[in-house]
């Protein structure tokens, strides 16, 4: 057994069906009484019902969260926080909403409750990615870790099938990179493999039957594990590429992760044979990178960045940005290799046999 360090993150998790009904109790558990509910415009109606459910504990609603947590949106939300004199936030939604809650917590110290309705995993991490002037930068601090996370399987039953698939593969990306992170440890490796397996078996079922409660429960369980992995260890090439594509090209978060992951894994494969073996076992396939690509096809996700509006002409600029201040990675970051990786992802080519090549 190799030496390791394991830091358990101080968050409270409430998991099950119908657990949204415990929100008021969880606010009291934090010693709070005036919650600001956060959401995106698309989830305004759902957030309004949560605010109504809170009664006197609901101070107001801010439903202008957007992708990639631009600082100007955070600044606007902070004005509302001040005007309403709130003492905590409740973020209901995916990574966009939870990211806003984190950005507010960083600047105010307010406690957070996160209620994820996707499989993004941001709720379990002390990581905040913010976009300023077209560049997305991340930081890791316990100041942005939600104090409480309420997982309610029932809230995911209406998540569209394709969105479920891309959100779930986004979660898998967290576990994949955790397996070859510089600071991985045996506990996180177990969580990562189990998280990948839970999502890999449930996402195709959800694609054919979005209301399948057992598959939804498995997927949310897997997302929790994968998010915990991301929160406990460092990120590598895959996340650097996705942060570049999201922050500088405004590509949608989950779809971008889904498309890039097989190619980033293929690039790193020669350097991480042990991680590749675990991923193959979790996916139940002979080729980890190709297996993840095929999982994307099974859930109806886009296969190439071109489908998101990313052009061949964009590859050069994205490469230049991505190789600046790179995250630690098990394989050396080479501009030529990254350019080829992004070109393969742009065109939607299928990775071949864990080799870094594409068909």
Torsion angle of C-alpha atoms 83, 84, 90, 93, degrees rounded to 10 = -60
* Cβ pair 150, 105 in contact under 8 A: no
Q: Is the dihedral of CA 138, 140, 146, 152 positive or negative?
A: positive
Q: Is the dihedral of CA 235, 64, 86, 83 positive or negative?
A: positive
Q: Residue 130 and residue 64: Cα distance in Å, rounded?
A: 15
Which stretches in the chain have pLDDT values below 70?
A: 353-359
Q: Residue 191 and residue 258: Cα distance in Å, rounded?
A: 20
How confident is the model over 331-358, as pLDDT tens digits?
999 999 999 999 999 999 999 754 445 5
User: What class has domain 161-358?
Assistant: mainly alpha
Residue 138's pLDDT is: 85
Q: Residue 354 and residue 276: Cα distance in Å, rounded?
A: 8
3-class secondary structure for the chain?
CCCCCCCCCCCEEEEECCHHHHHHHHHHHCCCCCEEEECCHHHHHHHHHHHHHHHHHEEEEECCCCCCCEHHHHHHHHHHHHHHCCCEEEEEECHHHHHHHHHHHHHHCCCEEEEECCCCCHHHCCEEEEEECCEEEEEECHHHCCCEEEEEHHHHCCCCHHHHHHHHHHHHHHHHHHHCCCCCCHHHHHHHHHHHHHHHHHHHHHHHCCCCHHHHHHHHHHHHHHHHHHHHCCCCHHHHHHHHHHHHHCCCHHHHHHHHHHHHHHHHHHHCHHHHHHHHHHHCCCCHHHHHHHHHHHCCCCCCHHHHCCCHHHHHHHHHHHCCCCCCCCCCCCHHHHHHHHHHHHHCCCEECCCCEEC
Q: Residue 269 and residue 271: Cα distance in Å, rounded?
A: 5
Residue 7: Cβ within 10 Å count: 12
CATH code linked to domain 12-156? 3.40.50.1970
Residue 358's pLDDT is: 54
Q: Residue 303 and residue 321: Cα distance in Å, rounded?
A: 23
Domain assignments of the chain as residue spans, ordered by start: 12-156, 161-358
Residue 355's pLDDT is: 47
Distances (CA, A) of 332 to 49, 237, 329: 49, 10, 7
Phi, psi of 28 (to 5 degrees): -60, -40
pTM for this entry: 0.89
Residue 134's pLDDT is: 85
Q: Is the dihedral of CA 196, 275, 189, 323 positive or negative?
A: negative
Nearest by Cα to 221 from 175, 274, 277: 175
Output the CA angle 230-25-19, nearest 5 degrees. 60
Residue 110's pLDDT is: 98
Taking each helix axis as running N to C, give the angle between helix 186-208 and helix 161-179, from 0 to 180 degrees, rounded to the nearest 10. Answer: 160
Q: Residue 303 and residue 3: Cα distance in Å, rounded?
A: 40
């Amino acid at each position: 057994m190799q030496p390791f360090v394991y830091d358990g993150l101080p968050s409270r998790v409430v998991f099950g069906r119908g657990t949204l009904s415990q929100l008021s109790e969880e606010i009291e558990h934090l010693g709070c009484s005036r919650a600001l509910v956060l959401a995106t415009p698309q989830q305004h109606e759902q957030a309004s019902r949560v605010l109504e459910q809170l009664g006197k504990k609901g101070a107001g609603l801010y439903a202008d969260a957007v992708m990639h947590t631009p600082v100007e949106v955070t600044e606007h939300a902070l004005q509302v926080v001040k005007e309403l004199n709130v003492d905590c936030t409740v973020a209901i939604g995916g990574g966009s909403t939870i990211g806003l809650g984190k950005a507010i917590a960083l600047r105010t110290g307010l406690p957070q409750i996160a209620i994820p309705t996707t499989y993004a995993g941001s709720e379990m991490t002390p990581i905040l990615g913010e976009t300023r002037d077209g560049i997305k930068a991340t930081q890791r601090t316990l100041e942005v870790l939600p104090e409480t996370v309420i997982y309610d399987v029932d809230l995911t039953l209406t998540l569209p099938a394709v969105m479920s698939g891309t959100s779930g593969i986004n979660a898998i990306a967290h576990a994949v990179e955790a397996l070859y992170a510089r600071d991985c440890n045996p506990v996180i490796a177990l969580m990562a493999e189990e998280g990948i397996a839970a999502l890999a078996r449930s996402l195709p079922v959800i694609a054919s039957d979005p209301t399948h409660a057992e598959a939804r429960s498995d997927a949310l369980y897997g997302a929790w594990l994968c998010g915990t992995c991301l929160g406990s260890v460092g990120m590598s090439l895959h996340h650097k590429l996705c942060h570049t594509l999201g922050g500088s090209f405004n590509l949608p978060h989950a779809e971008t992760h889904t498309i890039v992951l097989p190619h980033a894994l293929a690039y790193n494969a020669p350097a991480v044979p042990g991680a590749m073996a675990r991923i193959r076992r979790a996916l139940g396939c002979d080729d980890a990178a190709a297996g993840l690509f095929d999982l994307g096809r099974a859930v109806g996700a886009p296969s190439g960045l071109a489908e998101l509006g990313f052009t061949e002409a964009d590859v050069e600029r994205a490469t230049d940005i991505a190789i600046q201040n790179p995250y630690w990675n098990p394989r050396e970051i080479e501009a030529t290799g990254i350019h080829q990786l992004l070109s393969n992802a742009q065109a939607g080519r299928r990775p071949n046999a864990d080799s870094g090549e594409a068909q």
